[in-house]
Structure 1
Amino acid sequence: MTIYAISDLHLSFNKPVDLYGIRLEQDVDKPMDIFGWKRHFDRVRDHWLETVKQEDTVLIPGDISWALRLDQATYDFNWIGQLPGKKVLSPGNHCYYAQSKKKVRQHLPEGMTWIDADYTLVEGFAVAATRGWNLPGDKGWNEAEDRKIYERQAGRLRLALEAAAKEHPDKERLVMLHYPPVTSRVKESAFMDLLHEFQVKTCVYGHLHGRSHHEAVEGVIQGVELQLVSCDYLDFRPIAVRLNHTPS
Structure 2
Amino acid sequence: MRTVVHLSDLHFGRVDDVLLAPLRETVERIAPDVVVVSGDLTQRAKSEQFEQARAWLDTLPGPQIIVPGNHDISLYNVFRRFVKPLERYQRYITDDLDPIHVDEEIAVLGINTARSLTWKDGRINEEQVAKMKEEFAGLAPHVTRIVVTHHPFDLPQSADEDDLVDRAPMAMKAFAEVGVDLLLAGHLHTSHADTTEERYGMSEYAALVVQAGTATSTRGRGEVNSFNVLRVEHDRIEVDRYGWDVLSSAFSLMTTEAFMRSGDVWAAHNDGMLAAGI
Structure 2-normalised TM-score?
A: 0.57
Aligned length: 200
Distance in 1 between the 2:228 and 2:32 partners? 15
Structure 1 217/200 Cα, relative in aligned 2: closer, same or farther at 3 Å?
same
Distance in 2 between the 1:60 and 1:87 partners? 8
2:227 alignment counterpart: 238
The DSSP-based 3-state class of the residue aligned with 2:45 is coil
The DSSP-based 3-state class of the residue aligned with 2:234 is coil
List aligned pairs for 1:42-53, cutoff 5 A.
42-53=18-29
Structure 1 84/244 Cα, relative in aligned 2: closer, same or farther at 3 Å?
closer
Structure 1 6/70 Cα, relative in aligned 2: closer, same or farther at 3 Å?
same
2:142 maps to 1:162: no
Structure 1 72/228 Cα, relative in aligned 2: closer, same or farther at 3 Å?
closer
List aligned pairs for 1:54-69, cutoff 5 A.
54=31, 56-69=33-46
Distance in 2 between the 1:107 and 1:123 partners? 30
Is the Cα contact below 8 Å between 1:93 and 1:131 reproduced in 2? no
2:6 alignment counterpart: 5
* Partner deviation per Cα, 1:1-27 (whole Å, 9 max, x = no partner): 521101000013xxxxxxxxxxxxxxx
List aligned pairs for 1:149-188, cutoff 5 A.
153-166=124-137, 168-170=139-141, 171-183=143-155, 184=157
2:174 maps to 1:194: yes
2:112 maps to 1:125: no
Distance in 1 between the 2:27 and 2:56 partners? 17
Is the Cα contact below 8 Å between 1:48 and 1:237 reproduced in 2? no
Unmatched tracts of structure 1, length 5 or more: 13-30, 33-38, 135-144
The DSSP-based 3-state class of the residue aligned with 1:245 is coil
- Shift of residue 93, structure 1, vs aligned partner: 0.8
* Partner deviation per Cα, 1:39-90 (whole Å, 9 max, x = no partner): 2x42243133124345532100100123535565123211221134432211
The DSSP-based 3-state class of the residue aligned with 1:238 is strand
- Shift of residue 178, structure 1, vs aligned partner: 0.7
The DSSP-based 3-state class of the residue aligned with 1:52 is helix
Distance in 2 between the 1:45 and 1:243 partners? 26
**Structure with the higher fraction of residues in strand conformation:** 2
Task: Point out which structure has higher relative CO (alpha carbons under 8 A, 6+ apart).
Answer: 1
Is the Cα contact below 8 Å between 1:2 and 1:57 reproduced in 2? yes
Distance in 2 between the 1:168 and 1:5 partners? 23
Percentage of pairs with the same residue = 18
Distance in 2 between the 1:52 and 1:238 partners? 14
Structure 1-normalised TM-score?
A: 0.63
List aligned pairs for 1:214-233, cutoff 5 A.
218-222=193-197, 223-231=206-214, 232=220
Structure 1 114/95 Cα, relative in aligned 2: closer, same or farther at 3 Å?
same
**Structure with the higher fraction of residues in helix conformation:** 1
Is the Cα contact below 8 Å between 2:8 and 2:212 reproduced in 1? yes
* Partner deviation per Cα, 1:90-145 (whole Å, 9 max, x = no partner): 1111112795879856644xxxx6653453326632212223379xxxxxxxxxx7
The DSSP-based 3-state class of the residue aligned with 1:94 is helix
Is the Cα contact below 8 Å between 1:92 and 1:178 reproduced in 2? yes
The DSSP-based 3-state class of the residue aligned with 2:225 is coil
Structure 1 46/61 Cα, relative in aligned 2: closer, same or farther at 3 Å?
same
Is the Cα contact below 8 Å between 2:9 and 2:186 reproduced in 1? yes
Structure 1 42/182 Cα, relative in aligned 2: closer, same or farther at 3 Å?
same
Is the Cα contact below 8 Å between 2:50 and 2:88 reproduced in 1? no
Is the Cα contact below 8 Å between 1:127 and 1:175 reproduced in 2? yes
The DSSP-based 3-state class of the residue aligned with 2:176 is helix
Is the Cα contact below 8 Å between 1:203 and 1:226 reproduced in 2? yes
The DSSP-based 3-state class of the residue aligned with 1:89 is strand
2:52 alignment counterpart: 75
CA RMSD across the alignment? 3.8
Is the Cα contact below 8 Å between 1:10 and 1:64 reproduced in 2? yes
Is the Cα contact below 8 Å between 2:192 and 2:212 reproduced in 1? no
The DSSP-based 3-state class of the residue aligned with 1:230 is coil
Amino acid at match of 1:50: T
